[in-house]
Structure 1
Amino acid sequence: MINQRFPYAKEIIETVIENAYVWIVIVDADGNIIYMNDNYCRFCEVTKEEVIGKHVTEVIENTRMHIVVKNGEEEIADLQYIRGNYMIANRIPIIADGKVVGAFGTVMFRDTKEWSEMNSHVRHHLSSIQSFIEQQDDTGAKYTLNDIHSKSAIMAGLKEKVKSIAATDSSVLIRGESGTGKELFAHSIHLLSHRSDKPFVKVNCGAIPEHLLESELFGYEDGAFTGAKKGGKKGKFQQANGGTIFLDEIGDMSLQMQVKLLRVLQEKEVEPVGSTKTIPLDVRVITATNRPLEELMKANDFRSDLYYRISVIPLFIPSLRERKEDLEVLVRQFIKKVSIRTGKRISMIHEDVMDTFYHYHWQGNIRELENVIEAAIHLAKSDLITLDSIPDYIKQSTIYHSKSESALTLKEMLNDAEKEILLKMIQKYKGDKKGAAKALGISKSSMYEKIQKYGLE
């Protein structure tokens, strides 16, 4: 009846099965193979003619198909080691007239790496669902790739790289200028990983006083030092156990602390201050910095062995100046975000403002752009953001760059030249203003005065 209505049903079914993403094997009640699709045959380096009629144990390594036939119990998402790879297999008994007449087996993913990458891909799509986001409240991570707004090719490539590395447990070093969104990428990596339901712990190594950083990271025992909390305290590494720890501003860490951190990363265990016992750790480490670590290593201010330990997978986040095609997307997003927060409705931005934005250098990157949009929304007199609404230093910078040299006074030329020199030195030293000041032969206070003067904060 079916064949009369669908004369090519047999060919259709065979084509679908042969080209299915999964590998397929079917055995009879005795565990003998009655079907095996081409993909599975190629992997096992056999032909269909060779395997038909053979017992499944003679063809597939570590198979359990014959066991499923005997006990009639299905096995879902079971790990199976075949030809040097861990497969993820399903085995389902085939029942007819109340008895097991065979079994149907599939390999869903050809190895655990493939499964992990697919898992990250699925998590990326789930992350756009609010209910999924709400489940992350207790873990500490809240940003996903969906929160990184862009349309540039360079950012699209970076996001794809994040999806592929999230499935691993390798250490990641995120580089980029201040304000580029390094922390958002750290959150995203965690939420796309198999550790997403475990803690995500952030530590700003540059914000914690040196004498407190060790106890903050590694914890301490009761009575370890004067002022220690009764009963001791868990360190950030212990809090992150099973999950991810994000060490921001790693370039600001002292050499003494670098040695202690390196030991923890090498031994995968931590010894709290005042304790003689070590605690085993299972923590993925993500670090970030805007400092030139290579130059710091040359100056013996950063350990090369620690650098190679934390930079197994390097990520570089480009500055806003390198991807100005993202400006429009970011401006639109920030207007929406700030408008909701402030309750002030802004629906438009004048083209002159966008033109000014495209010509501005954005030393502070995305963080500076968001602050400018927030100020503009507060200063806007209608639902339109105009040039009158944006900070003067943005407009002045654009005016200086748009004037011809003949239209500038000597003072303006000197100011413009000084500003450009400051910008280049700050960029060269990756935002390290102290290092830039030293290279220019001026004091730190003079550097900050000039930064404030030219609006380079």
Structure 2
Amino acid sequence: MMNTGQLSNNKLLDMVFESTYYGIVIVDSHAKIQYISNKYCEFLNVERSTVIGEHVTNIIENTRLHLVVQIGKSEIADIHFLRGDFVIANRIPIIENKEIIGAIGTIMFRDLDDWNKMNSHIKEILTKHNFYKNERDVINGVKYSLHNLIGNSQEIQQLKELVKRVARGDISVLIRGESGTGKEIIAHSIHQLSGRSDKPLVKINCTSIPEHLLESELFGYEEGAFTGANKGGKIGKFQFADGGTVFLDEIGDMPQHMQVKLLRVLQEKEFEPVGSLYPKKLNVRVIAATNRPLEKLVEEKLFREDLFYRINAVQLFVPPLRDRIEDIPVLVDYFLKKVTARIGKRVTSVHPEVLSVIEQYNWPGNIRELENVIDAGVHLSNDEVIGKDALPDYLKRHNVKMKEESLKDIVEETEKKAIERALRRFKFDKKRVAETLGIGNSTLYDKIKKYQISDQ
């Protein structure tokens, strides 16, 4: 039997255990509680003074601590249903001189959501430091992680937090954003941080597969389903992803007859291969992405409304590059290091004048276009610093245009302030203002309207 005198100093035990575990309980060889932490008592909604000495099964529902005392075998990271929630519990026998004198039970996570949060956090850290094996990621279809979503702007930081929260669940996700913003990175990150990360991530580009082959590519076919069918049939991309994630890129371009079949997968968790007489069960998570206005497509009856609401359970928006200009310097540095490492050329930075040109450009092709510009700049540069001569011609032309527009802006701003000063000076007597400025009355009225100058 456990020496209870050794456990009488609850203050010392509290100092050790209250700060390290959500809950802890120690039982003797008869499975009677000798110590229980205050946190665990709060979770169980019991008074500590009333449970000391009680058999553990009378206090903790579904416990297995009394069995650990009997068998002497540890149970690590076991899922334990307790007070309407799942907790992650460890149970370890206490052995002295080869005799079981008790057992200790700890709650590592209060519920599965806590577990999933920590699991995603650990995966993110491991990926950031390249601890995951590339071979496994390639096999599972994962090429990117959240570490590849580069940026320090508030928009990107908020997006990263949303990705981590969404990844922990199993809900369908719709990723929206312009072409080249990084929607695929988001899809890969969700899968990689999810509980499905050890299963395949299968990408399906809804625009790249010919329409007459789309059904068999997605759902496979049975032997003899059509002329030329492979002997034994063929599994489709959805079945290959069973247990994992399907990433439907450019879902706005999916034909309507396939939208019906996808809706069945989402609603009934089953599909029918071409030529099959019976449906097959399927367990996949669906992540979709589009740069098209699905709401407008729904109004025009080009996209099913019921499917839209199914895939739109959670919506993530990837901002265009022009809306996060503050991320451009870090993106330029990232792509510069990436390109130079790939081709082995020593180019260390971009000229400040080049960075200014890049920051003023509108970037309709977003991140993908910026990477291509830096790639070209490294190849074309004759120095360790990328100068304006290494920029694509269209960026040079845009820079000239921007300079012209900037001069125009300066002139217009100067003109507006001169008119405002004159109006105040002559107490809004427009005739005198026009005479002083040397312009006609109608011209003055036109400029007041153009610059939206108040006439009071």
Q: Which of the pair has more CA radius of gyration?
A: 2
Cα distance between partner residues in 2 of 1:378 and 1:27: 70
Change (3 A) 1:397 1:383: same
Task: Give 1:263 shift.
Answer: 1.1
TM-superposed CA distance for 1:10, in Å, is: 7.7
Q: 3-state DSSP class of the match of 1:321? A: helix
What does residue 444 of structure 1 align with?
Answer: none
- Output the CA distance in 1 between the equivalents of 2:352 and 2:391: 13
* Structure-2 separation of matches of 1:405 and 1:46: 72
Which residues in structure 2 correspond to 1:18-29 (within 5 Å)? Answer: 18-29=18-29
Alignment of 1:113-192 (within 5 A): 113-134=113-134, 135-192=136-193
Secondary structure of the 1:272 match is coil
For residue 116 of structure 1, report the CA deviation from its aligned partner. Answer: 1.5
Counterparts in 2 of 1:41-440, with a 5 A limit? 41-134=41-134, 135-404=136-405
Partners of 2:407 and 2:321 lie apart in 1 by 30
Contact 2:176–2:315 (8 Å) recurs in 1: yes
1:318-341: CA deviations, max 9, x gaps? 110111111111111111111222
Deviations 1:413-440 (A, max 9, x none): xxxxxxxxxxxxxxxxxxxxxxxxxxxx
1:159/1:390 Cα in 2 relative to 1: closer, same or farther (>3 Å)?
Answer: same
Further displaced range: 14-23 or 102-111: 14-23
Summarize deviations over 1:55-107 as a string: whole Å, max 9, x none: 11111111111121122222111111111001111111112233111111001
Query: Quick check: 1:127–1:133 contact (8 Å CA) kept in 2?
Result: no
Structure 1 residue 165, shift from structure 2 partner: 1.5
Give the share of equivalent positions with the same residue, in percent: 55
**1:215–1:235 CA contact under 8 A, matched in 2:** yes
Unmatched 5+ residue regions in structure 2?
1-8, 410-456
| Aligned AA (2:168) | A
**One-letter amino acid of the structure 1 residue matched with residue 70 of structure 2:** K
Residues of 1 paired with 2:97 and 2:362: CA distance? 76
CA RMSD between the two structures? 1.7
TM, length-normalised to structure 1: 0.84
Q: Is the 8 A contact 2:10 2:35 kept in 1?
A: no
Q: Which residue of the partner structure matches residue 417 of structure 1? A: none
Q: Compared with structure 1, are the counterparts of its residues 140 and 406 closer, same or farther at alpha carbon in structure 2 (3 Å cutoff)? A: closer
* Cα shift at 1:11: 5.0
> Residues 29-40 of structure 1 correspond to what in structure 2 (within 5 A)?
29-40=29-40
* 1:272 shift after superposition: 0.6
Q: Which runs of 5+ in 1 are unaligned?
A: 1-8, 409-457
In structure 2, give the amino acid aligned to 1:16: V
Q: TM-score normalized by structure 2?
A: 0.84
Task: Out of 59-68 and 218-227, give the one that drifted further.
Answer: 218-227
The total of aligned residue pairs comes to: 400
Contact 2:21 2:106 in 1 (8 A): no
C-alpha change, 1:18 and 1:407, in structure 2 (3 Å) is closer
DSSP-derived class of the 2:27 partner: strand
Shift of 1:35: 0.9
Residue type at the aligned position of 1:128: K
